[in-house]
């Protein structure tokens, strides 16, 4: 493996004080073959994190090179293997994949016929990570979709937001209940070209949806709008939408999106929209990656940093709090990639200082040597999920409780900084750091 780069930059907190982020990118084992426009997702086999790749296009970059091949990467062994192909009848690109529990859901995408016709998919493929098998398909998505924004809410619902459906981009929000294998319609995105798009990327953190970039209207021009949706936790089909332009010159077509502790992060992509072969829709020729890293949170303003990252991405693998992976995509000169890029976010401890976001939690003693108590202010007697992570972002403890307080035995923990996250039933996210002596 080879460290590609370590980059640091400043994010302005409340437009006043600065916090430092660092991102180290490392080349890991090559994929079995080069692939782009592939649906990428993280998962686990036992406790070992894996990276999964489904469907995509090969180095030919023509319709016949679009396939259903699947691969998985063992992060502990730094090795890839081929697994059973996606159970569809025809290769596809621009699908999306998300994991809920032990199941990865590969949704949508589009097929390309020899005459150039593109057909959006209604398929919901279900892959069992523990048993390495494909289950029967889930209930088809009501509106066929590809190049959609897709994200998980409350470890149960998958939101399929806007995207392209056969002949046009749509405003639909389609919500898949993974436990009941059923679909519901959510509040549509604003029916304007800046929010109704394809090729955007987004994430859900707490009750908030963030998505950005993509291609808008019938001219397929690049979009610079950040759209924000607030989910009603009492009825997750109700979403209040707003949008904003952070910078008219900031774009992100087919980038990857993840989040760290409530902050949305977009990586890679391009500034110009293009077809599956990497050639621009506007006739300007081959499209280059924008080599961009862009971050935004509800209590932060945005900033960007230059780093060599691919474009034509359809997902990111989240393997721990601070470690993510990209697999495949297109590099400079539209070269279809075999690269596996490990992304390690460091120097983030300043974010976890006590702020308004975690003022509802009293933590004592802090530092601690024997026990740490977490006392929730404004108790609601509702289920909360408590998670404790070490400095590397590995989950150390996870517990669900309805109590108004929780005490953790810290005597067996290694001395150092730990981060806690408390997720309330209503989606509220509380966070902070503790020190163990």
- For 2-347, CATH number out of 3.10.290.10, 2.120.10.80, 3.30.499.10, 3.40.50.1370 equals 2.120.10.80
| pLDDT the model gives residue 92 | 98
| pLDDT the model gives residue 98 | 98
The better pLDDT of the pair 117, 369 is held by: 117
Q: What is the DSSP letter of 189?
A: P
The better pLDDT of the pair 81, 15 is held by: 81
Q: For the ranges 120-124, 250-254, 393-397, which has the lowest average pLDDT?
A: 393-397
The better pLDDT of the pair 133, 15 is held by: 133
| pLDDT the model gives residue 119 | 98
The better pLDDT of the pair 64, 352 is held by: 64
Q: Where are the beta strands (DSSP E) in 307-415?
A: 314-315, 317-318, 323-327, 330-331, 335-336, 340-346, 361-364, 371-376, 384-389, 395-401, 405-409
The band of 380, judged by pLDDT with boundaries at 50, 70 and 90, is low
| pLDDT the model gives residue 21 | 59
| pLDDT the model gives residue 206 | 85
The better pLDDT of the pair 117, 405 is held by: 117
Q: What is the pLDDT of residues 211-242, one digit of tens each?
A: 999 998 778 999 999 999 999 999 999 999 99
In the block, residue with structure tokens 């649906």: 39
Calculate Rg over the CA atoms of the chain.
21
The band of 427, judged by pLDDT with boundaries at 50, 70 and 90, is low
Q: What is the pLDDT of residues 32-50, one digit of tens each?
A: 999 999 999 999 999 899 9
Q: For the ranges 44-48, 132-136, 324-328, 346-350, which has the lowest average pLDDT?
A: 346-350
Secondary structure class of 334 (helix, strand, coil):
helix
pLDDT at 19 over 60: no
Q: Report domain extents, the chain.
A: 2-347, 353-436
In the block, residue with structure tokens 């996606």: 86
- Which pair of structure tokens corresponds to residue 175? 């919500």
The pLDDT > 90 percentage for the chain reads 62
The band of 354, judged by pLDDT with boundaries at 50, 70 and 90, is very low
One fold for 2-347 and 353-436: no
Q: Determine contact, residues 189/202, Cβ cutoff 8 Å.
A: no
| pLDDT the model gives residue 378 | 64
Cα separation, 195 vs 204, whole angstroms: 16
pLDDT at 16 over 60: no
**Burial tier of 198 (Cβ tally within 10 Å: 0-12, 13-18, 19+):** buried
| pLDDT the model gives residue 353 | 47
In the block, residue with structure tokens 């437009």: 15
Nearest to 149 by CA among 221, 227, 86: 227
| pLDDT the model gives residue 13 | 32
Q: What is the mean pLDDT of residues 16-27?
A: 65
Task: Find the angle CA(326)-CA(331)-CA(332) to the nearest 5 degrees.
Answer: 155
pLDDT at 262 over 80: no
Q: Where are the beta strands (DSSP E) in 180-318?
A: 182-186, 197-205, 208-216, 221-222, 225-232, 235-245, 256-260, 263-267, 292-297, 303-306, 314-315, 317-318
The class level of CATH for 353-436 reads mainly beta
Cα separation, 153 vs 177, whole angstroms: 10
The band of 14, judged by pLDDT with boundaries at 50, 70 and 90, is very low
Q: For the ranges 81-85, 319-323, 345-349, which has the lowest average pLDDT?
A: 345-349
The band of 209, judged by pLDDT with boundaries at 50, 70 and 90, is very high
The band of 15, judged by pLDDT with boundaries at 50, 70 and 90, is very low
pLDDT at 276 over 50: yes
Q: What is the pLDDT of residues 74-115, one digit of tens each?
A: 999 999 999 999 999 999 999 999 999 999 999 999 999 999
Work out the mean pLDDT of the chain and round it to a whole number: 88
**Burial tier of 106 (Cβ tally within 10 Å: 0-12, 13-18, 19+):** buried
Cα separation, 49 vs 394, whole angstroms: 11
In the block, residue with structure tokens 């993840």: 258
The band of 18, judged by pLDDT with boundaries at 50, 70 and 90, is very low
| pLDDT the model gives residue 54 | 98
pLDDT at 300 over 60: no
| pLDDT the model gives residue 213 | 94
Q: Where are the beta strands (DSSP E) in 14-121?
A: 17-27, 39-45, 48-57, 66-74, 79-83, 96-100, 103-107, 110-112, 118-120
Looking only at the bridges linking them, the beta strands covering 168-169 and 164-165 are antiparallel
């Amino acid at each position: 493996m080879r460290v590609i780069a370590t980059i640091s930059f400043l994010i302005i907190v409340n437009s006043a004080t600065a916090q430092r982020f660092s991102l180290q990118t490392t080349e890991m084992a090559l994929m079995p073959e080069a692939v782009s426009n592939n649906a990428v997702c993280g998962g686990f086999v036992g406790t070992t994190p894996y990276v999964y790749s489904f469907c995509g296009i090969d180095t030919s970059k023509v319709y016949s090179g679009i396939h259903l091949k699947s691969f998985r990467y063992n992060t502990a062994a730094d090795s890839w293997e081929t697994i059973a192909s996606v159970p569809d009848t025809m290769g596809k690109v621009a699908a999306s994949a998300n994991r809920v529990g032990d199941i990865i859901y590969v949704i949508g995408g589009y097929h390309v016929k020899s005459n150039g016709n593109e057909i959006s998919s209604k398929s919901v493929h279900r892959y069992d990570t523990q048993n390495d098998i494909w289950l029967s398909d889930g209930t088809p998505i009501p509106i066929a979709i590809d190049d959609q924004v897709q994200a998980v809410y409350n470890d149960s619902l998958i939101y399929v937001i806007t995207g392209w459906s056969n002949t046009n981009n749509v405003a639909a929000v389609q919500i898949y209940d993974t436990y009941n294998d059923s679909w519901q319609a959510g509040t549509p995105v604003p029916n304007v070209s800046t929010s109704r798009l394809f090729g955007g990327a987004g994430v859900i953190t707490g009750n908030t949806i963030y998505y950005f970039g993509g291609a808008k209207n019938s001219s397929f021009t690049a979009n610079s709008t950040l759209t924000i949706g607030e989910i009603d936790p009492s009825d997750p089909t109700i979403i209040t939408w707003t949008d904003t332009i952070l910078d008219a010159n900031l774009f992100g077509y087919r980038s990857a999106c993840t989040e760290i502790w409530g902050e949305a992060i977009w990586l890679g992509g391009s500034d110009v929209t293009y077809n599956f072969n990497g050639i621009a829709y506007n006739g300007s020729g081959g499209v280059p990656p924008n080599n961009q890293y862009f971050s935004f949170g509800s209590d932060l303003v945005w900033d960007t940093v230059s780093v060599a990252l691919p474009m034509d991405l359809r997902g990111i693998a989240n393997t721990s709090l601070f470690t993510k992976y990209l697999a495949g995509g297109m590099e400079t000169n539209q070269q279809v990639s075999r690269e596996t890029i490990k992304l390690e976010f460091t120097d983030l401890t300043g974010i976890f200082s006590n702020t308004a976001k975690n003022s509802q939690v009293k933590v004592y003693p802090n530092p601690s040597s024997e026990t740490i108590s977490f006392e929730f202010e404004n108790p609601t007697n509702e289920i909360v999920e408590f998670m404790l992570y070490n400095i590397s972002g590995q989950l150390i403890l996870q517990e669900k409780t309805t109590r108004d307080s929780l005490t953790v035995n810290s005597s067996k923990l290694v001395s150092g900084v730990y981060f806690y996250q408390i997720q309330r039933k209503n989606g509220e996210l509380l966070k902070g750091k503790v020190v163990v002596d």
